[in-house]
């Protein structure tokens, strides 16, 4: 066989392989990863890139990379310094503030990420921000943000280049298109286009130029169980836009599907020309009561024939489509979204890339392997605890809290704590955290004995559900720390089982068989409420609870092991290591 025939045969085999449907499971970006926007970039070695929302977590606006749409690795954070967005330091009582839905696009060697910072601090007034990068695997490569004019005070910005070189920014609610100057953020011209099918909250616009039409996809119905994706098109960018007669193109409303709240879509093609849809969804079933990981990113194959409308497969836990060949070679020093943690905080290392703060941190509160405590993460106590108070000043005081996203339906999280509190009310421990008003803690705390008034080191289990009135909350449980444990490392263990119950235990780190159960709590406590857009974080904290204590907490042997994913109601699949 000559070389040319061999090349043709290999090309045919590759196309055939790409065309064959492959089974995959949702979500592709599990855990707190809502409002996805994704692209395929041939120039970067045929790589897919996605971004998701951050709200008050920091670093903010993550970028994910994949070669095969299934294995996703963290590439960078577009907002990785507090001075890029100092408004994130505000002490807002509304936990839904922060960076909302972004759009990611690529053009002429540059990645563009446009997002909105949302706050009610001085009344409703979202700030639209544009960041750019020429290296998606390098935090330092992200420049900006440029602050854009936002005359309608709207959210969910989209970015679109027309064939004539003009650039447009779409915003919601009540979809507007603005011609903009990318270098200054100035709005040059404005069009009111399409407001959906008449349902509430038309938002999340994305504009596509295909087959002589401008297609405008949006979400509507609100990001709850009525959420839907709808689409329209026009021959002119300024309209009029005609809605698809078979809208919505994707939804789970009025169904008993396990994946609910489906919407906020983005569409893109792979190297073989196949079309794909990403959307957000919650694994809650129609009851929409227990979904601790909040809104996650799901994937569906779609067809989009020339001159026609997109047809998208309904979201399920197990699906199939013409996936690219499996490929886990993704550069950079990031982490895989499905993997667990084995962190020993070795001297000379940095805060792990997957760790997150609630708002930009006061960096002096955290140190890896401080003098006298190698292989530990030192957390100094903040004045405020995880709930904080109205006098809290995040920039000056900081919060002694650090975490990672919960990324699996069943898991085991353990961390060792060396903490010998000296003053009253000093506290350190581990937590399942949704917002400041919804978290479940297990800790060591110094309290005064009711009988003698002497300080006494105790172990405490305490759920906080201020953000979800009416939910059933187990009582706080406090026990005296066994004398043999005092002054020695104590292991905190948090597990989540198939019943969606968190279980909290403590044990001496060197004798884990002496484990003591501290309490259990339903994941209902950390679902919705004050964090309807959020997902849970697993972390550690140290606080003086408003007192004068300054005793450091030393955390070591941090282990997070994701065990199973629930892909349909009651169906759990083991996570491969």
Strands across the sheet containing 167-172: 155-161, 167-172, 176-181, 186-192
Q: Tell me the C-alpha to C-alpha distance, in Å, between residue 482 and each of 91, 488, 496, 537.
A: 38, 11, 26, 29
Query: Are 84 and 222 within one domain?
Result: yes
Query: Are 151 and 270 within one domain?
Result: yes
Distance of CA 169 to the CA centre of its chain: 24
Residue 3 lies in a domain: no
Bridge partners of 196, per DSSP, are: none
CATH number, residue 236: 2.115.10.20
Closest CA to 536 of 25, 30, 17, 3: 30
In angstroms, the CA 458 to CA 444 distance is: 6
CATH number, residue 481: 2.60.120.200
Structure confidence at residue 14 (pLDDT): 43
Query: Are 282 and 386 within one domain?
Result: no
Task: Give the number of other CB atoms < 10 A from CB of residue 146.
Answer: 17
- Label residue 451 exposed, middle or buried (CB < 10 Å: 0-12, 13-18, 19+): exposed
Query: Are 352 and 225 within one domain?
Result: no
Query: Are 231 and 272 within one domain?
Result: yes
What phi-psi label fits residue 70: left (phi over 0), alpha (psi between -120 and 50 degrees) or beta? alpha
Q: Decide if 203 is catalytic.
A: yes
Residue 334 lies in a domain: no
In angstroms, the CA 410 to CA 573 distance is: 10
Residue 16 lies in a domain: no
Query: Are 312 and 225 within one domain?
Result: yes
DSSP letters along 232-276, please?
EEESSTT-PPEEPTT--SEE-TTS--SEEEEEEEEEEE-TT--EE
In angstroms, the CA 323 to CA 270 distance is: 9
245-272 in b/e burial notation, b at 16+ Cβ within 10 A?
Answer: eebbbbbbbeeebbbbbbbbbbbbebee
Structure confidence at residue 434 (pLDDT): 98
Provide the 8-state DSSP code for 213: E
User: Would you say how long the chain is, in residues?
Assistant: 577
What is the gyration radius of the CA atoms in the chain, in angstroms? 25
Distance of CA 515 to the CA centre of its chain: 32
In angstroms, the CA 470 to CA 456 distance is: 33
Query: Are 435 and 292 within one domain?
Result: no
Query: Are 106 and 150 within one domain?
Result: yes
What phi-psi label fits residue 298: left (phi over 0), alpha (psi between -120 and 50 degrees) or beta? beta
Report how many domains make up the chain: 2
Residue 13 lies in a domain: no
User: Which residue, chain included where needed, has tokens 């199973």?
Assistant: 564
Contact 538/408 with Cβ under 8 angstroms? no
Residue 19 lies in a domain: no
Task: Give the number of other CB atoms < 10 A from CB of residue 383.
Answer: 21
Residue 336 lies in a domain: no
The domain of 281 spans 29-321
Q: What are phi and psi of 483, to 5 degrees?
A: -55, -35
Domain boundary among 265, 287, 321: 321
**Mean pLDDT in runs of 10 for the chain (577 residues)?**
41 46 97 98 98 98 98 98 97 93 98 96 92 98 97 95 97 90 97 94 97 98 97 97 98 98 98 98 98 98 98 98 97 96 98 98 98 98 97 96 98 98 97 98 90 86 97 97 95 98 98 97 98 98 96 98 98 90
Residue 289 lies in a domain: yes
0.75 surpassed by pTM = yes
411-444 in b/e burial notation, b at 16+ Cβ within 10 A?
Answer: bbbbbbbbbebeebbbbbbbbbbbbbbbbbbbbb
Residue 570 lies in a domain: yes
In angstroms, the CA 66 to CA 246 distance is: 32
Contact 207/214 with Cβ under 8 angstroms? yes
Structure confidence at residue 4 (pLDDT): 40
Closest CA to 401 of 415, 388, 416, 386: 386
Q: Which of 68, 97, 156, 203 is catalytic?
A: 203
Structure confidence at residue 576 (pLDDT): 82
Query: Are 226 and 137 within one domain?
Result: yes
Q: Decide if 43 is catalytic.
A: no
Helices (H), 369-490: 394-397
User: Which residue, chain included where needed, has tokens 């890339």?
Assistant: 353
Query: Are 415 and 456 within one domain?
Result: yes
Query: Are 300 and 390 within one domain?
Result: no
Query: Are 245 and 208 within one domain?
Result: yes
CA dihedral 541, 518, 459, 538 (to 10 degrees): -10
In angstroms, the CA 299 to CA 321 distance is: 10
């Amino acid at each position: 066989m000559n070389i040319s025939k061999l090349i043709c045969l290999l090309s045919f085999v590759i196309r055939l392989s790409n065309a064959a449907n492959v089974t995959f499971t949702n979500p592709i970006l599990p855990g707190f990863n809502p409002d996805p926007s994704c692209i395929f970039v041939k120039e970067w070695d045929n790589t897919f890139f996605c971004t998701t929302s951050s709200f008050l977590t920091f670093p903010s606006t993550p970028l994910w990379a994949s070669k095969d749409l299934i294995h996703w690795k963290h590439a960078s954070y577009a907002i990785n310094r507090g001075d890029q967005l100092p408004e994130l330091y505000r002490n807002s009582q509304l936990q839904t503030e922060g960076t909302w839905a972004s759009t990611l696009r690529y053009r002429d060697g540059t990645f563009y990420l446009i997002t909105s910072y949302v706050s009610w601090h001085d009344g409703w007034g979202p700030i639209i921000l544009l960041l750019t990068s020429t290296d998606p695997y390098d935090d330092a490569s992200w420049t900006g943000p440029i602050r854009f004019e936002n005359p309608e005070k709207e959210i969910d910005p989209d970015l679109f280049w027309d064939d004539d070189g003009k650039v447009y920014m779409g915003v919601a609610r009540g979809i507007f298109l603005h011609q903009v100057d990318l270098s200054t953020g100035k709005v040059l011209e404005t069009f009111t286009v399409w407001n959906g099918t008449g349902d509430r909250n038309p938002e999340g616009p994305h504009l596509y130029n295909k087959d002589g039409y401008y297609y405008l996809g949006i979400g509507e119905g609100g990001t709850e169980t009525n959420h839907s994706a709808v689409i329209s098109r026009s021959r002119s960018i300024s309209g009029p836009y005609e809605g698809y007669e078979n809208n919505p193109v994707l939804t789970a409303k009025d169904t008993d599907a396990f994946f609910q709240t489906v919407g906020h879509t983005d569409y893109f093609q792979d190297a073989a020309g196949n079309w794909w849809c990403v959307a957000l969804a919650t694994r809650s079933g129609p009851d929409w009561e227990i979904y601790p990981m909040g809104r996650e990113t799901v994937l569906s194959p779609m067809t989009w024939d020339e001159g026609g409308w997109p047809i998208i497969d309904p979201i399920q836990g197990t699906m199939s489509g013409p996936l690219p060949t499996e490929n886990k070679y993704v550069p950079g020093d990031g982490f895989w979204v499905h993997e667990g943690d084995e962190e020993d905080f070795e001297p000379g290392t940095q805060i792990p890339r997957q760790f997150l703060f609630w708002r930009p941190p006061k960096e002096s509160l955290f140190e890896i392997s401080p003098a006298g405590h190698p292989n530990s993460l030192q957390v100094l106590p903040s004045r405020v605890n995880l709930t904080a108070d109205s006098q809290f000043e995040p920039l000056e005081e900081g919060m002694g809290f650090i975490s990672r996203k919960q990324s699996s339906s069943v898991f085991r999280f353990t961390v060792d704590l060396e903490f010998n509190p000296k003053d009253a009310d000093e506290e350190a421990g581990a937590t399942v955290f949704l917002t400041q008003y919804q978290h479940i803690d297990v800790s060591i705390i110094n309290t005064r004995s009711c009988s003698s008034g002497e300080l006494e080191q105790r172990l405490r289990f305490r759920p906080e559900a201020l953000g979800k009135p009416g939910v059933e909350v187990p009582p706080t449980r406090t026990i005296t720390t066994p004398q043999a444990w005092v002054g020695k490392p104590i292991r905190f263990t948090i597990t989540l089982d198939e019943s969606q119950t968190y279980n909290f235990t403590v044990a001496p780190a060197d004798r884990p068989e002496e484990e003591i159960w501290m309490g259990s709590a339903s994941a209902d406590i950390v679902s919705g409420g004050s964090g309807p857009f959020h997902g849970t974080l697993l972390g550690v904290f140290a606080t003086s609870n408003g007192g004068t204590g300054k005793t450091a907490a030393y955390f070591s042997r941090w282990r997070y092991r994701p065990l199973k994913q629930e892909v349909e109601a009651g169906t759990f699949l083991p996570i491969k290591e």
